[in-house]
Every structure is written in structure tokens, then in C-alpha cells.
Amino acid sequence: MLRSILIAPLMLLAASLSLAGQDYIPDVTQEKFEATDGVINHLIPSSVTNGHTYYLAEFTAYNSFQNSWAWRIYKDDKSATYKLRSWEIHKSQDRKTKTEENVLEREIAEDLAQLIYTLWANSILDSKYTLVMYRGLDGATYNFSTYLRSIGWIAGETWSPSEELPPRWMVEIGINIYEESRKDTTAPLKITDNINELSSKLSLYKSSNSKL
């Protein structure tokens, strides 16, 4: 009996000390709006939209008031090459059914496939939840996903980023890949100056903001 009386205060003290080290304590009554204003320099974890196909990287733009679109980079084992598949996403009149339209496919250079795979994997692994409001009504949600062997499918997202930060650069790469995928499909897609510049920005930002 005496032992339990002594242990209880110690447990409460330990709990209070652990809470004291936390940066954020939510309102237990749930009456307070927890969202805040701010700038986000990372992706937000999201659900995987295509967890049944093995691929290196996938990017989807979900537009609010127009057709959405997407692309996927994967390895074609039969031809021992890497392929870039892109398509438009059309919704039915009741907006319940989605179909893939205007599908195009072209070969992509291995070094570009490796670069995109690396950028996607690291950006998604660095994703985290935030209290900063990041969604809106008139814009687009951009979803990034990849497959890592023995880990599985992982995904992150952002909404119409405008700040000169990693989410915007990642979106710009995604858009650039899509635009290139709709051009000449007879030649393998290689690293463009734009993609090279944006990937350099991401690398420099990460190295200068990494925790010591």
C-alpha cells in the first residue's frame, strides 16, 4: 500500500517532466482551433493512390476545377529500359468515376530516372505533419509517391506552393516532367537544364538546413 502511494506521485512527476519537453500541447477540450499560419518547407504525409503497381516515382496533379493529370516512371524489365507513362484524369459528370485518357509513353534515360527516384524518395521520407494550414479551394493538390523495396509504397503531398522552397521546386520538376512527356515520344527523355537547376536547389537547401 505504502509502495503504491509513493509510486503514484513519481509517475505523475515523470509524466509532467516529459510533457515539459514537448513543443506543442493541444487543447484537451478540443474547443481551440489548432491550425496556425506559416510557411511549409516540406511535404505532408498522404495516402498512396496506386499501391498495386511497382514504380520508381509517380506524380499526380489534382486540379480543383479542371481535369487532373499524372505521370509514372517505372522499369520495363522486358526491354531493360526505364519508361515514363503520362495521362490525363477525366471525371464523369457525377464526379464519382475517374478514367485515364490520352495516355502516352516514352523511354526515359536511366540517369534521369535515378535522379527523380532519389528526389522523390528523400522528399517523401522527410515529409511530416504540421499545424500550418496548407490547403485551399482554388488550386491543386500535388501528390508524390514512390516504392522502396522492403519498405513499400510511401507518399507525400503539397497544395499549390508559392514560396521559393522545396515543395515548390518539387512541383516544378513534376510539371516539367509532365510537359516533356507529352512532346516527342520517339526519343528517350534526358535531364533538362531546368530539372538540373531545380535538383541543385533542393540539394543545396537540404545541405544548408540539415541538423548538425
| Residue at 34 is within a domain | no
**For the whole model, what pTM was predicted?**
0.83
Alpha carbons 86 and 100: distance in angstroms, whole number: 9
Reading the chain (212 residues) residue by residue, the pLDDT tens digits are 444 444 454 444 444 444 445 778 998 988 998 888 888 999 999 988 777 789 999 999 998 878 899 999 999 999 999 999 999 998 766 556 678 889 999 999 999 999 999 999 999 999 999 988 877 777 899 999 999 999 999 999 999 999 999 999 999 999 999 999 999 888 899 999 999 999 999 999 999 987 54
| Residue at 50 is within a domain | yes
Helix (H) or strand (E) holding 195: helix 193-209
| Residue at 173 is within a domain | yes
- Identify which of 138, 123, 207, 126 has the alpha carbon closest to the alpha carbon of residue 168: 123
Alpha carbons 195 and 38: distance in angstroms, whole number: 27
Residue 166 near residue 202 (C-beta atoms within 8 A): yes
Cell of 185: 515520344
| Residue at 8 is within a domain | no
Alpha carbons 20 and 28: distance in angstroms, whole number: 16
Bridge partners of residue 71, in order along the sequence: 59, 86
- Please state the domain count of the chain: 1
| Residue at 23 is within a domain | no
Residue 181 near residue 106 (C-beta atoms within 8 A): yes
Query: Which residue range forms the structural domain that includes residue 92?
Result: 44-209
DSSP helix/strand/coil, 159: strand
| Residue at 112 is within a domain | yes
Cell of 208: 544548408
Place of cell 496506386: 50
| Residue at 1 is within a domain | no
